[in-house]
Amino acid sequence: MNYMKTSEIRESYLSFFESKGHLRMKSFSLVPKNDKSLLLINAGMAPLKPYFTGVEEPPRRRVTTCQKCIRTGDIENVGKTSRHGTFFEMLGNFSFGDYFKNEVIPWAWEYITEVLKLPKDKLFVTIYLDDDEAYDIWTSKTDIKPSQIFRLGKEDNFWEHGSGPCGPCTEIHYNKAGVKVNNVDEFVIASDNDEIIEFWNLVFTQFDGDGEGNYERLANPNIDTGMGLERMATIMQNVDNIFEIDIVRNILDGICKIVGKEYGKNDKDDVSLRIITDHVKSVSMMLCDGIQPSNEGRGYVLRRLLRRAARHGRVLGMKDEFLYKVVDLVVESYKEGYPELVEKADYIRKMITIEEKKFNETIDTGMDILKDYMDKAVSEGKTILDGKDAFKLYDTYGFPLELTEEIVEEKGLKVDMEQFNKAMQEQRERARGAREKTSYMGADEVPMNKVDASLSTVFDGYDKTELTSIVTVMATDEDFTKTLTAGQSGYVFTEVTPFYAEMGGQVGDTGMIITDNCKAKVTNCKKNVGGKITHFVTVTEGTLNEGESVKLIVDEKRRKDICKNHTATHMVQEALREVLGEHVHQSGSYVDENGMRFDFTHFSALTEEEIKRVEEIVNSNIMDVYNVETKVMNIEEAKKTGAMALFDDKYSDDVRVVCVGDYSKELCGGTHVKNSGEIGLFKIISESGVAAGVRRIEALTGFGAMNFVNSKEKELKSISSSLRCADGDIVKKIEQQLNELKMKDKEILELKNKIASGSENDILNNIKEVEGIKVLAARVDDVDGNALRDLCDKLRNKIGSGVVVLGGAAHGKVSFVSMATKDILSKGIHCGKIIKDVAAITGGGGGGRPDMAQAGGKDIAKLDEAVSKVDEIVKKLIK
């Protein structure tokens, strides 16, 4: 066998299966579409589920892909084993009810022994215990020796996720270390030791399982295979692990330079270097597919990976942000397979910098909190740190457990792992509870999602809002049905429809479906998991029947308003790029009849000036009455014209391009106005941040915008009438009144202070003798801190010898002052101690010198009690 570059292996695999009649498809996004069972694409078959289940027609019955995958389940192995990354590429060939075992086994053998030329004596094959069929094919249709075939149990060689399609698999392994293997036990041991490496899994989906061990043979079984590209490259390049293959080694070496370490010198450092390599790859790929860091779901996976990488940077001695520097290395290595990385490099670098900074900040706060936890444990004589505390650090401050463990160890403490795991488990259960229940194959079990893949539902509503068609299928939540009668709700499919199904941020149309003897309200319109247009209806009169000809009528006024808002999102994107720069990309949008929301990449809040300019540009383009035209063209052609496309969207070969004059060109399947002039007026009503690096604009158009401006005007009118001034004078008038208020506040305070000092004599009536010392304690409210101190000082002078304690509430806060004459200090009087105990009664604290001290409190209701306890507190101090 000869050395092959990773890119050569990728290409050779895909073209080999092309030569076997497969359609080559591009990698799908890491973000699953319409699949609530998965956070991230973790295998080549995952984005193809609708083809396997038959809810969607595949473009061909044989497909081959190289799919980006993320497996966070393997995170603990990364850097430690030779064969696991959280990010990897999976090569695969798939049969949707087409070829089966008889074809795929000989092809796999042909590919690895004739194309890659792997030595046959180094290959092993495992099959499922009962799968004699596979055994016979391996032994009769390939020349592998029977002694190199092992049978393993369900755990290893049966693919099953709950109920649904499942089946046995056969895995192909390579004896990297060249160890002697005489039996299945020796084989398993060598595999666990990374001496023999699994690189290809061929899954024969031949059963439908009920999840309880009962299987029914499928009429049209499928094939799903997965070969780890990186693992194959370690074989073809004869290196120890997936971090040392050409494209990954480049990244690893670059990281070594950045952190100033040499690879291969120290095992512990090597693990950290490999972890950083892997995690930055994953994070870059996720950001490129439009995932943003957050505290839940995919965003949390991203954040965890990034923090783990940053933390290993710290282990290697890095103090400042450095991960962003690794991005260029990732882009360089992967740009051939994923050219979009080049375009997004700048954005990815920025996002990583922001996150890393944030982590560096929390890590310091976390350290302070951990110190407190440790002090508490030590002072209580404990040797164990509460597992819940460790979990809180992990969960809230992104403190990896091993970091906490390392630090507490220095103080002779250990983390209570049982409690930690319990807290972790509880968290997981909460997360699982939040996820919706679906089968692994992604299909909800409701009838509307089980409609036959061959059913056609055509959208013909770009230019009309009304047409006649035939009802082909109807369903309720429970079952398919031939009729829906008055009062019933359900789902209706028709051959053709003018109803737009919710997509690309645009809401679904509403309206009516009618026949001569039936009226039904269409309350929403969406695509089901198989992409069929589904009308959500409630019948209000008569009965709707399957097979019947019906009139479909979209609420035209609402549709028009939606169109205005949708076209406006295209125009606002262009305007934002003009004002802020080319880095602005749509990262989400929502359009309905009431307005629009547009999320985009940008790193700081917009100034008022910028918002105004965006508004002006959009409005002037509205007034320029541009024609809005749509053209269907080939995707490559569309890209050449410079049309904007979304981050993570997968387009078919022919795309629809929406042009607003020459001004904006964007790939879009939505409905639009015919001319920009129809929008009438555009008004931004808010600008805010949604996440780091993502801003949101909310805006109105047409009458919505006009009503908004009118209501503002009305508000102004009512303000001016309350202020009794002309509209134009409002600001001046308010400034005037604010000034007046300020003066009055000052006056009030001065008066209060005067009253307080005037009440000295009343206060003096409270003097008591405690063990021969004069103690004066009193409550004086509504006096500010300075005045309270002055008053206290005066009272101290008046009593000649003794201690004074004043407490008061002002502006909702409690404060205390205490002063004593010097002559009694030798008797044990200490204002600092007195005030501490007094303030504590109201839930506060403070202290100070023996002759003068101040404190704050919280609970005003306890103030009287605090003042009344002064005598007692003083008494305790006197010697």
Whether the CA torsion 25, 31, 34, 37 is positive or negative: it is positive
Please tell me whether residue 383 adopts helix, strand or coil conformation. coil
Does 500 engage in binding with ligand ATP (CB under 6 A)?
Answer: no
Q: Which is nearer to ligand ATP, 244 or 599 (CB)?
A: 244
Residue least distant from ligand ATP (Cβ): 228
In order, the DSSP letters of 719-783 are HHHHHTS-GGGHHHHHHHHHHHHHHHHHHHHHHHHHHHHHTHHHHHTT-EEETTEEEEEEE--S-
Shortest CB 118 distance to ligand ATP, Å: 14
Shortest CB 698 distance to ligand ATP, Å: 42
Type of residue found at 660: V
Residue 505 touches which member of ligand ATP, Mg ion, none, C-beta under 5-8 Å by kind: none
Q: Which is nearer to ligand ATP, 188 or 369 (CB)?
A: 188
Distances (CA, A) of 402 to 409, 411, 432, 701, 702: 10, 15, 25, 54, 58
Q: Which is nearer to ligand ATP, 35 or 278 (CB)?
A: 278
Whether the CA torsion 797, 798, 799, 804 is positive or negative: it is negative
Segment lying near Mg ion (by CB under 5 A), choices 201-209, 298-306, 449-457, 674-682? 201-209
Segment lying near ligand ATP (by CB under 6 A), choices 79-87, 420-428, 630-638, 766-774? 79-87
725 is in an annotated binding site: no
Does 334 engage in binding with ligand ATP (CB under 6 A)?
Answer: no
Does 676 engage in binding with Mg ion (CB under 5 A)?
Answer: no
Q: Yes or no: say if 81 and 197 are a contact pair by the CB < 8 Å rule.
A: no
Q: Yes or no: say if 151 and 127 are a contact pair by the CB < 8 Å rule.
A: yes
Three-state SS annotation for 321-333: CCHHHHHHHHHHH
In order, the DSSP letters of 683-722 are EEEEEEEEETTEEEEEEEEHHHHHHHHHHHHHHHHHHHHH
Q: Which of 37, 67, 201, 753 binds ligand ATP (CB under 6 A)?
A: 201
Q: Which of 199, 204, 338, 420 binds ligand ATP (CB under 6 A)?
A: 199
- C-alpha 422/C-alpha 417 separation (Å) is 8
Segment lying near ligand ATP (by CB under 6 A), choices 195-203, 213-221, 300-308, 716-724? 195-203
HSE on the CB side for 56, CA within 13 Å? Answer: 20
Q: Which of 138, 150, 200, 626 binds ligand ATP (CB under 6 A)?
A: 200
Q: Yes or no: say if 130 and 108 are a contact pair by the CB < 8 Å rule.
A: no
Q: How far apart are the first and last CA of the chain?
A: 95
The count of residues interacting with ligand ATP (CB under 6 A) is: 16
Q: Yes or no: say if 637 and 643 are a contact pair by the CB < 8 Å rule.
A: no
Shortest CB 168 distance to ligand ATP, Å: 13
Shortest CB 88 distance to ligand ATP, Å: 4
Q: Which of 58, 79, 228, 844 binds ligand ATP (CB under 6 A)?
A: 228
Does 47 engage in binding with ligand ATP (CB under 6 A)?
Answer: no
Q: Which is nearer to Mg ion, 225 or 753 (CB)?
A: 225
Shortest CB 90 distance to ligand ATP, Å: 5
Q: Which is nearer to Mg ion, 201 or 854 (CB)?
A: 201
CB atoms within 10 A of CB 477: 10
Does 124 engage in binding with ligand ATP (CB under 6 A)?
Answer: no
Does 79 engage in binding with ligand ATP (CB under 6 A)?
Answer: no
Segment lying near Mg ion (by CB under 5 A), choices 184-192, 196-204, 282-290, 486-494? 196-204
- C-alpha 747/C-alpha 733 separation (Å) is 21
Does 201 engage in binding with Mg ion (CB under 5 A)?
Answer: yes
The site string for ligand ATP over 84-123 (x = CB under 6 A, - otherwise) reads xx--x-x---------------------------------
- C-alpha 222/C-alpha 219 separation (Å) is 10
566 is in an annotated binding site: yes
Q: Comparing C-alpha atoms, which of 184, 225, 175 is closest to residue 203? A: 225
Q: Which is nearer to ligand ATP, 66 or 817 (CB)?
A: 66
b/e burial code for range 569-587 (CB count within 10 A of at least 16 → b): bbbbbbbbbebbeeebbbb
668 is in an annotated binding site: yes
Q: Which of 30, 46, 63, 227 binds ligand ATP (CB under 6 A)?
A: 227
Helix, strand, coil: what percent of the chain each, to 5?
45, 25, 30
Segment lying near ligand ATP (by CB under 6 A), choices 46-54, 77-85, 211-219, 756-764? 77-85
Q: Yes or no: say if 41 and 30 are a contact pair by the CB < 8 Å rule.
A: yes
Site residues for ligand ATP, window 235-264 (CB under 6 A)?
A: none
Site residues for Mg ion, window 297-326 (CB under 5 A)?
A: none
Radius of gyration of the chain (CA): 36
Residue 670 touches which member of Mg ion, ligand ATP, none, C-beta under 5-8 Å by kind: none
Segment lying near Mg ion (by CB under 5 A), choices 198-206, 369-377, 460-468, 713-721? 198-206
Q: Yes or no: say if 234 and 119 are a contact pair by the CB < 8 Å rule.
A: no
Q: Which is nearer to Mg ion, 18 or 198 (CB)?
A: 198
Type of residue found at 46: A
The site string for ligand ATP over 420-439 (x = CB under 6 A, - otherwise) reads --------------------
Q: Yes or no: say if 201 and 232 are a contact pair by the CB < 8 Å rule.
A: no
- C-alpha 445/C-alpha 448 separation (Å) is 9
Shortest CB 124 distance to ligand ATP, Å: 13
Does 704 engage in binding with ligand ATP (CB under 6 A)?
Answer: no
Q: Which residues contact 814 (CB under 8 A, 6 or more apart)?
A: 807, 808, 839, 842, 844, 856, 857, 858, 859, 860, 863
Q: Which residues pair with 687 in a beta bridge?
A: 697
Does 71 engage in binding with ligand ATP (CB under 6 A)?
Answer: yes
Does 174 engage in binding with ligand ATP (CB under 6 A)?
Answer: no
Q: Which of 22, 61, 68, 231 binds ligand ATP (CB under 6 A)?
A: 231
Question: How big is the chain, counted in residues?
Answer: 879
Q: Comparing C-alpha atoms, which of 814, 533, 562 is closest to residue 702? A: 562
Segment lying near ligand ATP (by CB under 6 A), choices 142-150, 211-219, 221-229, 326-334? 221-229
Residue 71 touches which member of Mg ion, ligand ATP, none, C-beta under 5-8 Å by kind: ligand ATP
Binding-site residue ranges for Zn(2+): 566, 570, 668, 672
Binding-site residue ranges: 566, 570, 668, 672
Residues near ligand ATP (CB under 6 A) are 71, 74, 83-85, 88, 90, 198-201, 226-228, 230-231
